[in-house]
C-alpha cells in the first residue's frame, strides 16, 4: 500500500479524496499552517499536490497566485525529490487553455494554451517548472481538471442548487451550450489510477460528455424531486448579458468543452459515475447539510 502525502487535504477535493480512500495511507498536510521544510517526506511514495490559490472575489495580485500555485508547489516537489519520493501529482486547471472553446472544437492534451488571468498563468508556470524536474527517479503527472462538482461543492454549482430550492420559475431553458465538468468521485478515481500506475505526463479530468446549463438545472430539479417550470431565456436577455456581464455570461451561456478520451485510453480508465449519479450525490449532500444546519 502506497503512502500518499496530500497537500490541501482540507479543501473540497482533498476532503473527497480522503473520504474515498479511507483504507489507504493518506497523510494530510495543510500548507497554510505547515512550512514545506517541516513535512516528513521520508518513506512516502507519492505527493498529491492539491493546495493552491483559486479565483478570489476580491482582486488578487498575480504575484500572489504565482507564489502559491507555482513557487510553493515547486518547493514541495524539490524537497520531496531530495527525500526520495518517486511520484509527484499536480492538480492544474483547464483554464490554462483559455476562457472558452469554439463550437465543435473541444480542448484536448494537444491544444495550445492561452491563459488569460493570473490564476491560469500561475498554473501553466507550475506545470512547466514541475515537468522540468522529471527524471528516471522522479515522475511528474499533471492533471488539468475541469470544474468539479459533488458533495461539498461551492461557488457556481452551489448557487444553482440554491436557485432550484428557492425559485419556482427557472429561466435556464434553451441554453444549449456545452460545458465539460467532472464529478468529484470520477476525479478521485482518476487520481487513484495515476497513483496506482505511477503514471507521469499530462492528463485531463472531465466526465465523458459535456452538458448544457439547462441540462444541469434539469438534473438538479430531478434530484431534488421539485416541481419547477423552466422558462426559455429570451435571446435579447442573452445578448444583454454577453455585452454587460461577460464573466457571468461565459459561465451560463458559453462553451468550454474538453475531450478526455486520450487520458482514459492511456490510463485504461473508465469513470465509475454517470452525470446523473454525480448530481444525485451532490444534492443528497446539500439536503443533509441543510437538515444538520436546521
Are 191 and 17 contacting, i.e. CB atoms less than 8 angstroms apart?
yes
- Rounded CA-CA distance 218/221 in Å is 5
- Rounded CA-CA distance 272/187 in Å is 10
The pLDDT tens digits of the residues spanning 63-97 come to 999 999 999 999 999 999 999 999 999 999 999 99
Instruction: Specify the pLDDT at position 56.
Output: 64
3-state SS class at 100: coil
Distance of CA 272 to the CA centre of its chain: 17
pLDDT at residue 205 above 70?
yes
Cα separations (Å) of 273 from 207, 211, 281?
9, 15, 10
pLDDT at residue 36 above 70?
yes
Tell me the whole-structure pTM to 2 decimals.
0.93
Instruction: Specify the pLDDT at position 155.
Output: 83
The pLDDT tens digits of the residues spanning 148-189 come to 999 999 888 999 999 999 999 999 998 899 999 999 999 999
Confidence of residue 294 (pLDDT cuts 50, 70, 90): low
| Beta bridge partner(s), residue 183 | 149
3-state SS class at 169: strand
The percent of residues in the chain predicted with pLDDT above 70, rounded, is 98
Residue 53 burial by CB count (10 A; 0-12/13-18/19+): exposed, middle or buried? middle
The percent of residues in the chain predicted with pLDDT above 90, rounded, is 82
Average pLDDT over the chain reads 93
The pLDDT tens digits of the residues spanning 214-248 come to 999 999 999 999 999 999 988 888 888 788 877 77
Confidence of residue 57 (pLDDT cuts 50, 70, 90): low
Residue whose C-alpha is closest to residue 75's, from 118, 6, 126? 126
**Longest Cα–Cα distance in the chain:** 61
More confident residue, 22 or 245: 22
Confidence of residue 130 (pLDDT cuts 50, 70, 90): very high
Distance of CA 54 to the CA centre of its chain: 10
Are 237 and 243 contacting, i.e. CB atoms less than 8 angstroms apart?
no
- Rounded CA-CA distance 267/139 in Å is 15
Instruction: Specify the pLDDT at position 293.
Output: 77
Cell of 237: 436577455
- Please provide the size of the chain in residues: 294
Q: At what angle do helices 275-293 and 184-197 cross, to 10 degrees?
A: 120
- Give mean pLDDT, residues 37-52: 95
Instruction: Specify the pLDDT at position 253.
Output: 86
Cα separations (Å) of 7 from 39, 206, 249?
10, 22, 33
Task: For the beta carbon of residue 231, count every other beta carbon within 10 angstroms.
Answer: 12
- Give mean pLDDT, residues 43-52: 96
Domain ranges of the chain: 3-149+181-208+258-272
Instruction: Specify the pLDDT at position 1.
Output: 83
- Rounded CA-CA distance 286/290 in Å is 6
pLDDT at residue 49 above 80?
yes
CATH fold, domain 3-149+181-208+258-272, is Rossmann fold (3.40.50)
3-state SS class at 175: coil
Are 85 and 142 contacting, i.e. CB atoms less than 8 angstroms apart?
no
- Rounded CA-CA distance 31/43 in Å is 20
Amino acid at each position: 500500500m502506497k503512502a500518499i502525502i496530500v497537500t490541501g487535504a482540507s479543501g473540497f477535493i482533498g476532503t473527497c479524496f480522503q473520504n474515498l480512500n479511507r483504507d489507504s495511507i493518506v497523510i494530510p498536510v495543510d500548507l497554510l499552517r505547515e512550512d514545506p521544510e517541516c513535512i516528513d517526506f521520508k518513506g512516502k511514495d507519492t505527493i498529491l499536490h492539491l493546495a493552491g490559490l483559486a479565483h478570489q472575489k476580491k482582486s488578487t495580485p498575480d504575484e500572489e497566485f504565482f507564489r502559491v500555485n507555482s513557487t510553493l508547489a515547486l518547493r514541495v516537489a524539490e524537497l520531496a525529490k531530495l527525500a526520495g519520493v518517486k511520484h509527484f501529482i499536480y492538480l492544474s486547471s483547464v483554464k490554462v487553455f483559455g476562457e472558452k472553446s469554439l463550437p465543435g472544437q473541444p480542448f484536448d492534451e494537444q491544444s495550445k494554451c492561452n491563459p488569460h488571468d493570473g490564476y491560469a498563468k500561475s498554473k501553466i508556470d507550475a506545470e512547466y517548472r514541475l515537468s522540468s524536474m522529471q527524471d528516471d527517479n522522479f515522475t511528474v503527472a499533471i492533471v488539468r481538471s475541469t470544474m468539479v462538482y459533488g458533495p461539498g461543492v461551492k461557488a457556481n454549482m452551489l448557487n444553482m442548487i440554491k436557485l432550484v430550492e428557492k425559485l419556482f420559475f427557472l429561466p435556464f431553458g434553451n441554453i444549449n451550450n456545452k460545458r465539460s465538468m467532472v464529478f468529484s468521485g470520477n476525479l478521485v478515481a482518476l487520481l487513484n489510477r495515476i497513483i496506482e500506475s505511477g503514471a507521469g505526463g499530462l492528463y485531463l479530468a472531465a466526465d465523458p460528455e459535456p452538458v448544457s446549463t439547462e441540462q444541469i438545472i434539469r438534473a438538479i430539479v430531478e434530484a431534488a424531486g421539485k416541481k419547477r417550470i423552466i422558462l426559455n431565456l429570451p435571446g435579447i436577455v442573452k445578448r444583454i448579458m454577453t455585452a454587460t456581464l461577460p464573466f457571468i455570461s461565459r459561465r451560463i451561456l458559453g462553451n468550454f468543452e474538453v475531450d478526455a478520451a486520450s487520458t482514459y485510453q492511456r490510463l485504461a480508465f473508465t469513470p465509475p459515475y454517470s452525470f446523473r449519479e454525480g448530481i444525485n450525490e451532490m444534492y443528497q449532500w446539500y439536503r443533509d447539510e441543510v437538515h444538520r444546519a436546521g
